[in-house]
Amino acid sequence: MEQTTMDELLSRSIAQILPSKEEFARACASGKRLRIYIGADATGPQLHLGHATNFIWLEKMRRLGHETYILFGDFTAMIGDPTDKSAARVRLTQEQVEAHIATWKEQVAPILSFDDPVNPAHLVRNAEWLRKLSFAEVLDLASNFTVQQMLERDMFARRIEEKKPIYVHEFFYPLMQGYDSVHLDVDVELGGTDQTFNMLVGRTLQKKYRGKEKFVISTTLLTNPSTGKKLMSKSEGGYIALNDPPNDMYGKVMALPDATIMQMFLDCTFVPLAEIAALETGLHSGVNNPRDVKMRLAEEITAIYHGPERAAAARDYFVQTFQKKETPTDLPEVLVPPGAQLSDVLLAQGFVASKSDFKRLVSEGAITFCDGEVTDFNFVLDKEGVVRVGKRKFLRVVIS
């Protein structure tokens, strides 16, 4: 495992450090063991590579000996962060949040070491303390901020302009996130640039209730250079979940725009800066083929979550399936009765999410059987063959 240095840490994935990068560097050089945390709300069952940027940075701080916390926002998720939202979020139930959070530690564990015998990362959930706050305590927190400060935020200004409602409980979200800093008594909070306002609320509260400075570190967001939008978005087509199977993860990285390669190396891998710089120089000079560099990226990312052997197997699968246009030999196989509907089979095998998803894929020409495009929503399986769904999913059908 490569040695993490403070110089390297401050040279990647960082958009801004408040009050300043120089003060943070001095705090790290002082020998003090800093307490640092990153929070993530349990608004869905999957974490993605955008989250991983922060987890990797946190792990590097842990390796340098600092005290690290990952906070799963089980209470804040029930309210929902209004940041960048044109309407209030639908509130989640406790049961929904618990279902989302069930596998999160398992998804994060390949990055953050929770079982290091000397300095393990810590996992906490904010319902533990936010549920216990009295109304008087909430009012005291709220007294530190004005309505004008809240309304200055872009998404609220847009809603006022569009005559859309702003609910009072949405103002409480940054207070809750800010109080997390106070309860954990942290020295540093880490989050994406979209979280800067919420993190600064925590900085204000930390100064009042703990009488101490808190560093706010805003990390770069993964963006699609063609659209300027978040890359880890299903609508942008770049969503890569941390628990994606290795073949899917590798293939999805290969499908990313070439212009994202170097940012992904910087933000989503542990590859040293010097090595990344050499790869970039090779790209600019024409010595390195973008495809080959992206294959290295895909293997590096897949290896973090699935190990080197499965990453290498995913690479071989990609070469066989996409570069050589061959059908994989190790296909999953399903026995079906004669006359079975393809939509039912794919739904049962988890190859499509729903019947409407199946129809959408058929309409897009994304499903083939025996190398022929499926155009009938009621397609019936009357012979054995291979079904292909999208670019990466194959299923061998055997008539029983």
Segment 251-271, tens digit of pLDDT? 999 988 888 999 999 999 999
Residue 352: CB atoms within 10 Å:
23
Query: Do residues 37 and 133 both lie within one domain?
Result: yes
Output the DSSP codes for 329-391. Answer: SS--EEEE-TTEEHHHHHHHTTSSSSHHHHHHHHHTT-EEETTEE---TT-EE-S-EEEEETT
360-369 pLDDT tens trace: 988 888 888 8
Cα(311)–Cα(153) distance, integer angstroms: 43
Same domain, residue pair 161 and 34: yes
Structure confidence at residue 2 as a pLDDT band (50, 70, 90): very low
Q: Same domain for 77 and 179?
A: yes
Mean pLDDT across the chain: 88
Q: Averaging pLDDT over each range in 8-17, 146-155, 229-238, 291-300, which range is the top one? A: 291-300
Whether 227 is in a domain gets the answer no
- Whole-angstrom distance, CA of residue 138 vs CA of residue 213: 22
Percentage helix, strand, coil, to 5, in the chain? 50, 15, 35
Instruction: Give domain status of residue 122, yes or no.
Output: yes
Domain boundary among 323, 349, 372: 323
Q: Please give the pLDDT value at position 91.
A: 73
Q: How many CB atoms lie within 10 A of CB 325?
A: 7
Distance CA 388, CA 365 (A): 11
Whether 86 shows a pLDDT value over 60: the answer reads no
For residue 146, give every residue at least 6 positions away whose Cβ sits within 8 Å of its Cβ, in sequence order, or none: none
Question: In this structure, what token pair is assigned to residue 298?
Answer: 């895909």
Please tell me what DSSP assigns to residue 241.
B
DSSP state of 4: P
204 shares a domain with 82: yes
Give residue-wise pLDDT tens across range 236-251: 557 899 999 999 999 9
Q: Which domain holds residue 187?
A: 6-219
Shared domain for 303 and 372, answered yes or no, is: no
* Cβ atoms of 225 and 266 closer than 8 Å: no
pLDDT given for residue 1 in this prediction: 39
The confidence band for 327, taking pLDDT boundaries of 50, 70 and 90, is low
Identify which has the larger pLDDT, 83 or 147: 147
Q: Domain count for the chain, please give it.
A: 3
Using one digit for the tens of pLDDT, what is the confidence trace for 44-71?
Answer: 888 999 999 999 999 999 999 999 999 9
| The pLDDT value given to residue 322 | 73
Pair (210, 68) in one structural domain: yes
Who's near 10: CB < 8 A, 6+ residues apart? 17, 21, 24, 25
pLDDT at 144: 96
What number is the average pLDDT over the span 279-294? 90
- 210-240 pLDDT tens trace: 999 999 999 998 987 777 778 887 655 578 9
- According to DSSP, residue 260 is labeled G
Q: 294-300, long-range: CB within 8 Å, 24+ apart, which pairs?
A: 294/253, 294/254, 294/256, 294/258, 294/261, 295/254, 297/253, 297/261, 297/264, 297/265, 297/269, 298/249, 298/250, 298/251, 298/253, 298/254, 299/250, 300/265, 300/269, 300/270, 300/271
Angle at 172 between CA 49 and CA 55, to 5 degrees: 20
Average pLDDT over residues 110-136: 95
pLDDT attached to residue 354: 87
Question: Could you tell me the CATH number of the domain that includes residue 245?
Answer: 1.10.240.10
Q: For 342-391, how does the pLDDT look when each residue is reduced to its tens digit (9 = 90+)?
A: 999 898 888 888 888 889 988 888 888 887 888 889 888 888 888 888 87
Amino acid identity, residue 211? G
Looking at the fold, whether 62 and 140 belong to one and the same domain comes out as yes
d(CA 70, CA 124): 6
User: Residues 51, 123: one domain?
Assistant: yes
Cβ pair 192, 218 in contact under 8 A = yes
**CB-based contact 42:72 (threshold 8 Å):** yes
pLDDT over 70 (residue 83) = no
